[in-house]
Structure 1
Amino acid sequence: MNTSSTLNIALTSAIALGFAGITYVVLRKSLKQKASHVAPDNLNINLITSEEDSEDAVNELRRRSARYHAIGFDCEWVSDQGKKHPVALLQLSTNDGYCALFRLSHLKSIPNCLKDLLEDGDIYKVGVSPGNDVKYLAKDYSVYTKSTLDIRHLAELCNYEPGGLGSLSKALLGIELDKSWRIRCSDWEAEELTERQITYAALDAHVALKIFVKLVNDYNKTPQFSPSRRNSTEHWNNISQFCSKYLDIGYKTKNKAKNDKECKEKKSKGTKEVVSKRYTHATRSKPLYHNCLLTAPDGELLSTCDDKKAKWYVENELADTVCAEPLTVRLRFEPAGRSVGAAGRYYQLSKENRCVVCGAGHSFIRKNVVPREYRKHFPEVMKEHSSHDVLLLCAACHQRSNARDQPVRERLAARCGAPLAPLAHARTSEDAACRNIRSAARALLHGSRKHVLPEARRRKLESVVLQHYLQHDEITTELLEEAANIQVAFENDDYESHGSKVVEHYRRHDGLLRLEQEWREHFLESMRPQHLPALWSVTHTAERLQVRQNEGRLSEDDLKLLAM
């Protein structure tokens, strides 16, 4: 074969390989684009731009969500040079493919029917990180969405990797979502949305709900689920038992990943895990209720009480022991009042030492239904006999309850002009310069004892101290000890307590009894306790004070203060 033929063959092969490569790249790109736009065929997408359309859409969402008690939930907005605009688009979807895209930027406000749907605690709003969307809806439109559920909680429960919506969709549904930054950061306030925007927005809400349904059905087949309901659809009628502990609770991926990594490292090194003994709320190992009996001189039952209180009366010769089991003591003096009506009988009843929400019988934390930041500003006449609003919750229920209290605080802040103060406006603040002086002095004292400070570091720390104490020319032990104890925290002159401002607002407008009742109503609605003490009542204080008023035991000032 001559040289010319060899060159022709090489050139032909190169051209063929080139075409093959180009064809491969084009096909790969085409397949990738096709995969990123995969969408269920049964989507029924509705753009909502008027209040009339909103009402029809909400009715349809309610009707179609009846079986699963949930809707897919997501929001979109525009950010301009780092500044976020109000939420422009709200996406809600049902499992059968009905998607309502509410163009809030065109509606300008949220219709009442849509507001009622978002604030309906019986319908779950499921998605990934729905808490952020809820926060922005509250800030932009004063709508306080209830019963949000981050599907990553359920993914973890079912032993799936709790990633983002895109990875969950691909892994669980086989649907690859379009997650290009160009579409995510597009103009959601545009006069007309593109087809790609519409599909992207609808799928985000719809896929979240499809994942939710799959996860609940998967969990229904696991051994830990009740055998009587396995492989049936009855679990959807009992969905609250499965999901209630995750409602309105954020999913903290970073902390979880870090903790998991630390645990793995400790196990690999054979290090014994040390459990921290610092708790935000200490749990009780001893019972709260001893159900001792306190009676009047004529033997009439006044109330139950703990053993310490009963023994205190006896030890101070104010009562006599009548019976040892149950411990019963009889007062030697006539009490200010007797137990009258349902409010009085509440204190006569025995109380159970168990979580009032789920019934757990161990590791309790006392829950203040009306948070102390408000109750501490109440008048004494309302703080007397306040045990009605102190209930037992297990640690898990206590955590959920506190998380669900935050939206109420935010509503009160907006309604009463009582902002929840950021750190800059806290009661006290630290002076940075004084903190540096104290740190330098303590380092010098410590270094002097241990002889470990490098000379350059020592000179730098000494200059920090001497710049403050200009009257001193040299560092002495006495000077360092003074600097090491320098005041760092100072009272903020412009500090205003959120709790006191809310209480003052209600005192002047709706009355403090109304504030107290709102917190009790919120507890019932958000936690749905199944084991409340008998006769526990939202209007308990009003009933109790009414009895006192009838008996002439309330002053005119009390009546005015309480707006009775």
Structure 2
Amino acid sequence: MDVYRPQIILGVGLSSAYTIWYAYRTWSHHRSRCGFCQPETHTAHGFIVASQEKWYACSAEVLDRIESSKLIAVDCFWVGSVLTRRKIALLAFCTSAERITFVRLSELGEFPEELAAVFRDPTIIKVGIDILAHAAKLYEDYGIETYGCVDLRYMAMATPAAKRKLLRADSDLSLISMMNVLLDANLSRDYRMLYSRWEARHLSRDQIYYVTGQVIGAFGLAVKIAQSNDWVANAIGYLLKPYLWLDHFIKIHYASYIDLKFSRDRICRHAVPSKPPKPDEKTLRSYNTLKTPLYDNCVLLCPDMEHLCTCDRRKAQWYLDTDLAEKVKDDPLTVRLRFEPAQRAILDAQYYCLVKHNICVVCGSPENLVRKYVVPREYRKHFPKIMKHHNAHDVVLTCLACHAQYCWYEDLFKEQFAKHCNAPLSEASRKFIDNKALREIQRAANALLKVKDNLPEERRQALEDLLKEHFEVNELTDELVDYAAGIDFREANVDFVSHGKKVVDHFAEESGLLVLETMWREYFITKMNPSYLPDMWSPDHHHDILAVKLSFIEREDPREAESLRRKLGITPEQLHDIVERLKHEDNVNFNRINFQRGRLLERQS
């Protein structure tokens, strides 16, 4: 007890001093604070700033809170994907778990100068997941420099108690995973919200709840991780509000991580290798490479000479042989159809009119090419037909080395889906299972056929009795033993649901299949960094066309359209926004479009 007495005295003294200071600070803080802004300038969780007027109305209180806490949890949201990203549309931050500020930069048009000063100030700590990447985007989009950033993953892995919990739970160090483990917050990833329209005129209630959970969760993690350092920090955390101590604590205990870009190489984790192993020659020889070019780039024209698509030489020649088309020229082979096609190249279907090169989309090599399905076939085969019809966008060419490398990454991603969707990849979920009784019969018969003379009499008799009992006979013939040795002990697993089917069903019920499709496309881009993808190749390919198809199906069969809309993960508001955008921004004339047999046909005027 004497050993801990100095620490106890110090802790009690500090706690008492901090309690007195806290009482005075709280009194003076509330005394000097301005009143709450008008109802239209805030939600139950804080402020929504969508105009300069609203910023002027609430900026005094927002800046006062920031100045008091010297710490904000920050997150940014934008429309787009890995290939194409629009400017940050929404900046959200909080100084406590009670108040959050939504700054709608897409509506404001410019970044408030008072807020820019906050982000430039290195004495104001900014916490979040991948906070340095968000800072880089702020600079790229609005020229705002950001200092004083601390990645929560560094904080967690530098704090032994938090690190142990995360490693024990096999956390992937995402915000949701860390909240689940450290805050006991049972949240799930809502990919539909992540890919929602952050530039919409008004944020939906779901979007507001999603952002609130992300930002308040990040703030809660900063508090929880800091409190996990030792019993003194834990006591201070319970006695005092975070704005009284958290920024100082982070500046002292995590100073080396301020403005340090996150890298997994800098943290000690028991994980799989960060890079795929180099494939050996035996592995490479197991793949069947293409013997002929995949792309012949022959051209199909509509009767009015409009480009329909490119195709292989065999298909173009078939049209000529059946007198369904006439030759226009030989190089490249170009044929004009004699009939109106069921589908014309509208919207991003122009992708299929472009010339494609027979090279690896990753490294550009023309040798040893194989087809690679960016969205694995085990998932894609369970997609609705409307997503697959006339859509070869996700079949790309890779060389053997790049193909083997991506297969390694692909398996890692499948493991994440297996865990997230409760869709195991192990043999416990295999299509066929062993009938243990029949397997014993086969083994007994094989033993009698191969080593009967070497078996002890008692063992031989037991095996023969087993077979007699199974076949319900008194005498065991050689023919019956031969039959038993060849018996098939595998049975169909009536409860079998493939991994791919489970994952597709999960996304169809939760976030939507378009999210699953986009995730695989973006994963391929992120992991392989392909330099030779065809022009117009996009993670969002075909999504606008799907929205148009849905709008036409809705006229014929509203119930079917509603079912498809839910599976795809398109909300009615999103469907309406997409159709309106296509009308006004892309000049799509819906009066000239017809929907037939699952395909789009643009009528001739």
TM-score by length of 2: 0.47
TM-score by length of 1: 0.50
